[in-house]
Amino acid sequence: MKVRVGKIPKSHLDGPADQWIDDHARGMMVSEIGAVGGREVFFVGKVFGGIVKAVEPHCSGTEHTVCAPIQKAFPGDVIIHNHPSGDVKPSEADMKVSADAALRGIGSFIVNNDVTVARVIVSPFTERELRDPGFVWARCWDAMRKAVAGERPVVRELIDQFDPRLAVAATVRWSKR
């Protein structure tokens, strides 16, 4: 089954991780999560053709939290962390980090410990999307609105802190819809 990058079908919000992460990268993640006793681990995934093909572990945390140094990721990458409980529903902190990452053109996933289920918070950005800052802003805002019931002021605050020019670009883009 092919998944279109840039669109998140409702059926893929919580779905098989192999739709987004290839077997080699999944194996590396399972190994690293096992090496730290099943605690949370923060990864940066390298995306090729809309699929994560390689991952780099950057830190491990506790059973409930892990630091997220998103500056380790580049536009077009995906940040990924696991939830040891198996519940891939994002927390408020997950949403804040994902909003900040999305503003930088970085996607965001949550997986279970055996990397069989993935929650796509922000899908990987395409090269075309990354060339248009207004599009990045609009995708971020749209993804956050869909992922969390109601609009959260924290997303707008992050956007304004990141670069006020993006708000102008997005306003122009939204008005053309």
pLDDT of residue 143: 59
For 74-87, the pLDDT digits (tens) are 989 999 999 999 99
What domains can be seen in the chain, in order of their start residue? Answer: 12-175 (3.40.140.10)
In the structure, what pLDDT confidence band is assigned to residue 28 with cuts at 50, 70 and 90?
A: very high
CB contact at 8 A, 109 and 20: yes
In 3-state terms, what secondary structure has residue 53? strand
DSSP 53-73: EEEEEEEE--SS-----GGGS
Q: How many CB atoms lie within 10 A of CB 119?
A: 22
Does the pTM of the predicted model rise above 0.85? no
Contacts of residue 131, defined as CB under 8 A and 6 or more positions apart, other chains included, come to none
